[in-house]
Amino acid sequence: MANLTQHSFRCPSCGEIFTVNLPDVVNAAEGHEYKDIILSGELFLRECPHCSRRQVVSWPLAYIDTEGKHLVFLSDKQLSIDQTEGYTARLVDRAGDMIEKIKIFDYGLDDRAIELVKYVTKQDMNIPDASLKFVRMDGADSELVFTYPSKGQMEMIAIGFSVYEDCCAIIGRNPAISEASTGLVRIDEDWVASLLR
């Protein structure tokens, strides 16, 4: 069982403060109770008891997968986790980013290559400002499925696995990329931009 801590949030709708008991650390190995509601987004979706408005809340949350050796920290505040050597450790700002990272790692994919795939795809499709999110790997060809908002609705796009493999090869050829992704780091579109500078 995860330890719960009381967190307070101010409702953006009515301005009242409400408290929720939430886990600070979710260990994937300890049952799927919390992992499932992280992935569904349910853990982050909370209803204000005063006005019933449902909203996404965020607090310092650490997700740890001791089998896959992955760590994802939500928020700037670094929670102390012992023995993280040999782990891929990522910092994310939003609940949706944490969900995406966990999905990427669960498929055994490299999130750095995924960010490069997004970059290449946005250039190819001439949608440089789109915010692509990895959703799943599909079919016998292992196509990578991404979504992005466009004109008020969610578009879906499938990218061939060979594009991902090409991006993995780029990372393999560039020690600077590995250097830029050690320790607890944010791997996102800004990270890709920093590589290209």
The answer to whether residue 51 forms part of the interface with Zn ion (CB under 5 A) is: yes
Stretch that binds Zn ion, among 51-59, 70-78, 117-125, 143-151 (CB under 5 A): 51-59
Answer for the pair 185, 88: CB distance below 8 angstroms, yes or no. Answer: no
Q: Which is nearer to Zn ion, 13 or 66 (CB)?
A: 13
The answer to whether residue 11 forms part of the interface with Zn ion (CB under 5 A) is: yes
CB of 45 to Zn ion, least distance (A): 14
Among 22, 28, 38, 48, binds Zn ion (CB under 5 A): 48
The answer to whether residue 154 forms part of the interface with Zn ion (CB under 5 A) is: no
Query: Which of 99, 74, 91 has its CA nearest to residue 22?
Result: 74
Q: Which is nearer to Zn ion, 50 or 77 (CB)?
A: 50
88: left (phi over 0), alpha (psi -120 to 50) or beta: beta
78-100 b/e (C-beta count within 10 Å ≥ 16 → b): eeeeeeeeebbbbbbeebebbbb
CB of 22 to Zn ion, least distance (A): 18
Structure tokens at 177: 């990329």
* List of residues 6+ apart from 13 with CB closer than 8 A: 48, 51, 53, 55
Q: Which is nearer to Zn ion, 11 or 132 (CB)?
A: 11
Q: Which is nearer to Zn ion, 15 or 149 (CB)?
A: 15
Sign of CA dihedral 76, 35, 98, 163: positive
Query: Which of 101, 108, 119 has its CA nearest to residue 163?
Result: 119
Q: Which is nearer to Zn ion, 17 or 125 (CB)?
A: 17
Stretch that binds Zn ion, among 42-50, 56-64, 104-112, 177-185 (CB under 5 A): 42-50
The DSSP letter of residue 77 is: S
The answer to whether residue 50 forms part of the interface with Zn ion (CB under 5 A) is: yes
Residues that bind Zn ion (CB under 5 A): 11, 13-14, 48, 50-51, 53
